[in-house]
Amino acid sequence: MAFDFKGKVFVVSGAGSGMGLATAKLLYECGANISIVDNRREAIVAALPDITGGKVSPPSETKDAVHEDDRIIALEVDVSSSAQVNAWTEATVKKFGRLDGAANLAGITSGKKKVVDITDEDWDRMMRVNLTGTFYATRAQVKAMESLKMEAASIVNTSSIYGISGKETSSDYSAAKHGVIGMSSSCAKEVGENGIRVNCIAPGIIDTRMVRSLPPHFLESHARTLQYGQALHRMAEAKEVANLIGFLLSDLSSFITGATYTIDGGQIC
């Protein structure tokens, strides 16, 4: 899908694979300048040729960045660290002088445990990455957008269909993703008067590295869901999610904020 993002600046977390990589690739192809991060340095390095259509290979490493050129800055960032998120945002504004939008896609999957088996450490890690990390990013991005006095800006946060409904053996994951929707819709009410929109996506089963790494019995469960509990009977491709994110970052969605868009092939319809 083609959008006109020439001259605009977007940040993308989780850009080393899956939905984040597909989103970064779409934004770059549509003319945007991008600031991309992942907590795995090797993943960012491997993703750069794909994102840029082979224009970046190997990366041009600097003292502070995995790669930096006229249109891209790529950093290794752990979104559960507010200091790292703030530094990423500051580096983006320093380089490009503006921030038009953000796609906050970094996240982890559930350990697939019943609620009685989830440890304090399991719970804390899930909240720290999937909810607190999204909050840290949103907070830093809103501060930057307001400071820059952007006339229009858009933030897209990642929830899940399990942020709308529950999921057995995923209480920690579902709770974090419910929290993302609550935080995002509340933020949307605060920042709308400043021209900033905040929306969520709620993906179903997406063909990503994270999904493919699940234990076999969970992959079998997903296969049964696709066969019997979903209208389109297939996983989404990451680029299909990227197309939705591109729409929400674009002016085509200029009157949409505080919303949550499911992209699940009709799983919870």
> Tell me: the pLDDT tens digits for 85-103?
999 999 999 999 999 999 9
The C-alpha atoms of residue 42 and residue 60 are separated, in whole angstroms, by 14
Cβ neighbourhood burial of 146 (10 Å; 0-12, 13-18, 19+): middle
Q: Which residue stretches of the chain are H helix? A: 18-29, 41-51, 82-96, 120-126, 133-148, 171-191, 209-212, 216-228, 238-249
Catalytic residue at 28? no
Phi, psi of 164, rounded to the nearest 5 degrees = -110, -40
pLDDT over 90 at 63, yes or no: no
Note the pTM of the prediction, 2 decimals.
0.95
Q: What percent of the chain has pLDDT over 70?
A: 97
- Average pLDDT, stretch 222-228? 77
pLDDT over 90 at 237, yes or no: yes
- Average pLDDT, stretch 131-139? 99
pLDDT over 70 at 218, yes or no: no
Q: What is the mean pLDDT of the chain?
A: 94
pLDDT of residue 221: 75
Catalytic residue at 186? no
Catalytic residue at 261? no
pLDDT of residue 195: 98
Q: Which range among 14-28, 46-60, 137-151 shows the weakest confidence by mean pLDDT?
A: 46-60
pLDDT of residue 1: 62
Q: Tell me which of 72 and 218 has the higher pLDDT.
A: 72
pLDDT of residue 224: 81
pLDDT over 90 at 212, yes or no: no
pLDDT of residue 225: 82
Catalytic hit among 159, 170, 184, 253 = 159
Catalytic hit among 174, 177, 184, 250 = 177
